[in-house]
Amino acid sequence: MGMTHIVDRRLNGKNKSAVNRERFLRRYRHHIKRAVSDAVQKRSITDIERGEKVSIPSRDIEEPIFHHGQGGKREMVHPGNQEFVAGDTIPKPDGGGGQGSGQGQASPDGEGMDEFAFQITQEEFLDFLFDDLELPNLARKKLKDTEAFKYVRSGFSTDGVPAKLDVVRSLRGAHARRLGLGGARKKKIRDLEKQLEALKSAPEDLDPAFSHEDQIQVLEEEIARLKANVRRIPFIDEIDLRYRQHLKKPQPATSAVMFCLMDVSGSMTQMHKDIAKRFFILLYLFLKKNYKKIEVVFIRHHTSAKEVDEEEFFYSRETGGTIVSSALKLMHKIIESRYSPAEWNIYAAQASDGDNWNDDSPICSKLLADSILPLVQYYAYVEITPQDHQMLWYEYEKIQERFPQSFALQQIADPGEIYPVFRQLFERKAA
């Protein structure tokens, strides 16, 4: 039997620095997350998907090094102070330009940023943007189709492709085979070597019919033959190879639908609408980035509600009065006709300035409590106003007290609060 050669033809990634880049991103994760958070607040609603240039302070990129300390024994007294407490910034002392001999550029207040900056890609930007976020209460529903499969390990097989070769298990099998085939021969070799040693040290013929030299020669030839047989046992054979085997297992569908309800009434100023659009763009990117099987239903409403497409939802200029219940009624109608709660995880996000007909706010509360919240996994309400809350907010507060796990409400006063509020609404809960 000829020797079997194993050639690993698995391709390495052409980007040799990918591993180093991932390690770098992990090290400075908190700096990058802070830069991403700041970038979201400064950007317009149309360019949130691109990457970002990140700078890291010089004091945070210095590597720890070993160095020689001052030798000898010294006694030092460190007196306390009554002027500063932990966290205070000590002012720069007067006098001198403070430029020193270094190459960096000092700032007047004694603090500065290192010139080291790098660009993160769009994919990395979205990863940091939506880190630790998830749709709350996502549940697995019954199998709706056969598109969702998961590959699960199913033992090992004796044939397969090189990419699935389990090297450790193959070598373990080869070692066991060599022990099984050569164990008896090696034991016999050890016994013959002891006989040979005894025969050479105390010449007592084992068989009187043969001379002493002949007996030694016979033992040596037998030992050589057995050792040659052991050496001919292949290190690894085709029967030793083990390949990882996987089976396709159907997965329960985690299909979800998100209802986006936006108030476009006349009380919503252009700033309010811009904040609402930025909130929903964040939500839309989050859903498309983190979930494969998800549908988004866009609903605009003033005195009447209408289901629209993405283009009309963000860019239509239609406006009017305010009847919030029209959007809730339309949402409930769509759920009944297209999205069975037995098959779908249903979510909703509503953005409004809170302005509503006084008689309509109790109707909204009743619709939510009786018809919608029993069907949905999570409902988020965002009130966009820097002013005092209106009637709709107080009605929704009562709803939150009744449904604390599936209903949440937050207020946004200015564009800088969009991203923090978004993270609060969809932050991953501890298990």
Residue that wins the pLDDT comparison between 173 and 38: 173
* Cβ–Cβ under 8 Å, residues 243 and 165: yes
* Domain-embedded: residue 83: no
Burial group, residue 385, by CB count within 10 angstroms (0-12, 13-18, 19+): buried
| CA gap 10, 161 in Å, rounded | 10
For residues 260 and 396, membership in a common domain is answered with yes
| Cβ-contact 260, 286 below 8 angstroms | no
Q: Give the domain extent around 187.
A: 163-245
Distance CA 176, CA 201 (A): 36
Predicted confidence at residue 203, as pLDDT, reads: 59
Tell me: the pLDDT tens digits for 311-352?
Answer: 888 888 877 788 889 999 999 999 999 998 888 889 999 999
Average pLDDT over residues 24-47: 67
Chain mean position to CA 143? 26
279 in the same domain as 326: yes
Task: Provide the pLDDT for residue 146.
Answer: 47
Helix (H), strand (E) counts: the chain: 11, 10
The residue from 106, 129, 152 where one domain ends is 129
CA gap 207, 204 in Å, rounded = 9
Query: How far is Cα 334 from Cα 259, in angstroms, rounded to an integer?
Result: 10
Report whether pLDDT(11) > 60: no
CATH code of 269's domain: 3.40.50.410
145, pLDDT greater than 60: no
Average pLDDT over residues 286-305: 86
Q: Is residue 225 scored above 60 in pLDDT?
A: yes
On whether both 197 and 288 belong to a single domain, the answer is no
| Angle (deg, nearest 10), helices 167-201 and 212-231 | 180
Residue 210 in this model has a pLDDT that exceeds 80:
no
Average pLDDT, the chain: 77
Is residue 203 domain-resident? Answer: yes
Residue 355 lies in a domain: yes
The pLDDT-based confidence of 55 (bands split at 50, 70, 90) is low
Check residue 58 and give its pLDDT.
60
Q: 264 lies in a domain?
A: yes
Please tell me which residue, 323 or 126, carries the higher pLDDT value.
323
Share of the chain above pLDDT 90, in %: 14
Token pair belonging to 131? 């880190």
pLDDT, position 96 = 54
User: How many independent structural domains does the chain possess?
Assistant: 3
In degrees, to the nearest 5, what angle opens at C-alpha 84 toward C-alphas 81 and 90? 120
Within a domain: 345: yes
Taking only the tens place, the pLDDT of each residue in 409-431 is 999 988 888 888 888 888 877 65
DSSP character string of 113-153:
--S-EEEE-HHHHHHHHTTTB--TT--------S--EEEEE
- Among 211, 245, 279, identify where a domain stops: 245
Give the Cβ contact number of residue 263 at 10 Å. 26
Rounded CA gap, 398 and 358, in Å? Answer: 16
All residues at 6 or more sequence positions from 145 whose CB lies less than 8 Å from its CB, including other chains: 253
Range in 73-82, 227-236, 323-332 with the lowest mean pLDDT:
73-82
Other CB atoms within a 10 A radius of the CB of residue 254 amount to: 17
User: Radius of gyration over alpha carbons of the chain, in Å?
Assistant: 37
299 lies in the same domain as 326 = yes
Q: Residue 303: pLDDT band by 50, 70, 90 thresholds?
A: confident
In a domain, 75, yes or no: no
Q: What is the mean pLDDT of residues 375-381?
A: 92
What is the rounded average pLDDT of the residues 257-281?
A: 88
193 and 292 in a single domain? The answer is: no
- Whether residue 35 is predicted with pLDDT greater than 80 in this model: the reply is no
pTM: 0.58
Do 285 and 426 meet the contact criterion of CB atoms below 8 Å apart?
A: no
Same domain, 299 and 392: yes
**Residue 217 domain-assigned (yes or no):** yes
Which of 392, 373, 372 has the alpha carbon at shortest distance from 383? 392
pLDDT tops 70 at residue 18 = no
For residue 1, pLDDT beyond 50: no
Task: Output 60 or 401, whichever has higher pLDDT.
Answer: 401
